[in-house]
Structure 1
Amino acid sequence: MTRDHEPSLSEIADTAAELSELRATADDILSHAWAVERTRRLLDGREPAFDTDLWKTIVEMGWPDVLVSEPRGGGGAGIHELCVLTEAAGAVALPVPLASVASAAWCEDRCAEGISLVLEDVGATLREGEVTGSWPMVSFGAVAQRLIVLARRDGEPVLGIVDAAGGGVRRQSQQPLDHNPTSSITLTGAALLPISSGPDAVERHRNAVMRERLATIAEVIGIASAANDAAVEYAKVRTTFGRPIGSRQAIKHRLVDQRSVVEVARALVNRASDACELDHPDADALVSLAAFWAIDSLRRVPEGATQVFGGIAYTWEHDAHVHLRRAASRIAELGSRSFHRSVVARWLDSRSSTTRSP
């Protein structure tokens, strides 16, 4: 649940137990609903890697509505719960836009209707109720029904909804590494239905983006953890010169280091989630810190796991490249490494300045 105060130790323990139970439930459900090999088979097809029936199942379970308030029919839960679900989804390479749609539903405070996406702030302009802007790569943009756009009208920010099938919307298909239905989106005089304006619009959009970013990082954690776990199991049974390769120091150190990277990422996401829930002034910086770690270190885990598998991982029939592709595609959604590094650097410098001041 969303908190408005610093949690006590007992509350932290209770929350951890609840999240652990939620993860076990999510893992059990997804183990019956999907498998990595099914995502790999989607890569063979001509259509983008998106399963409509699977998405309907996810919607029926209420996962995209986990952040929506209970009075509006949602789960009334918080970012931690969403991150648990997206991490579980990442572990089985679920080809659905859970993080994006859940964040959009939170932004609108209404249960998801179709696929809604929150677009980044690219300086879109609004004139006489029509918005103009361009987004070069939007994951699952080709299957979106609604677009949540932050635009500016004479300098005043306005947050609104654009019908993706309406006039003035042009989408051009792109093909990312994981083959999800990505498209570039160009709005040229598209009708905008306002939902908020002024400083509240900026704040609402910022918080929605932060939630999506954290949930996406959690998904990458699930991908990286699954890749590393698979490499660990392989290292136990693959033998060379009469010994399992996992008994060799270089392999052991690689696998342990990769597990450490995953655990650090989880800790950073948990810390940033707390800050977002509490509306802490450090929330932006902590989200960027988690994103920077994902871009800089977490992305290497599926790469390292692929190396443990050796030549077999470079065959199409192996699942290793699925994790590698999905991690690369999800990380590309987090923004640039330099942007997050600069945010973190400014934050650390401000903290240092505060410490040095008399």
Structure 2
Amino acid sequence: MGGDARSGPVRSPARIRRWRRMLADEREEARVYRELASRSTGEERDILLALADAESRHAAHWERLLGAEVGQPRRGRPKMRLLASLARRFGWLFVLALMQQAESQRYASVSDAPASMAADERIHSEVVRALAARGRSRLSGTLRAAVFGANDGLVSNVSLVLGVIGGGASSQTVLLTGLSGLLAGALSMAAGEYVSVSSQRELLAAVAPEEAVETALPQLDVDANELALVYRARGMSAEEAERRARAVLQEQPVGPALGVPGTADSDVVGTAIGAATASFAFFAGGALVPVLPFIFGVQGLTAVVVACVLTGAALMLTGGTVGVLSGASPLRRALRQLAIGVAAATVTFLLGLGLETVLH
């Protein structure tokens, strides 16, 4: 447990350096939250400013421990400085996903930090998780289409390119095949996303209560038990359905009369045009990567190596981005994405090689 400068733990040089580092990190973290708040409005801005104030209180703890040895203001760790820079330049969802990991790991094994500060950081992690979830829900439809589009473009086209290379195709044939796969796949993905999102939005609209029923409800000749059946059919427990039915019939509504908390929101699904456009653009972008060396006239083994390296890097970038946005380990997701791409490309290359051997 930390104390003040006179009654606290032994003030060794190593400990003082650690306290100064903790102080710098807390100040940097408060700066990140204030940067994010400057890019936000309403309730989200208030929450971020409250988090910044909490980090400033934590900084005050290290200032008290250091006392006269607080020294000149220092910069935080490179990771925290990077987050502050990202907060100034990019959307706050990306930064919050990274902050979520930083908060959850803070003070887990720091003996000089009070238990209350470690508990604070765990709560902060949940607050940041909830804020990031808001952003993800607003982007989920288009973001899903973009990520899947890029990944599918990379994996499918590198597999296609390596498959025809294994079959002994010339560089011109490889280029033509790759560009054809790019266009066909991008159009197919866009059409599939448009149909999928349109169908999902139509399904949500079909299950939503009609406004006419909402307005007519007070005049219906039903008792609480009958109305409760509506709520139970929509997924409520029997007890909750009975409570809500009685409240509605007594003209004490707790929200839309026939609405059920937790019902999917069509805003989360996104728009069909937005999903189709994102899917087309990102699939085409991903599918272009393995074809790039052939477009620029590189041939033979060099072209294959360049295509594989570029595709591998792009797959890791895509996987890492998904990891960051989902709050998971970016490296683990990046390696998983790379392994999937390598496996698919290896299988198609071996199939092409086998067919070339059989046919010739």
Q: TM-score scaled to structure 2, two decimals?
A: 0.28
Q: Which has the higher strand share?
A: 1
Q: Which has the higher helix share?
A: 2
Q: TM-score scaled to structure 1, two decimals?
A: 0.28
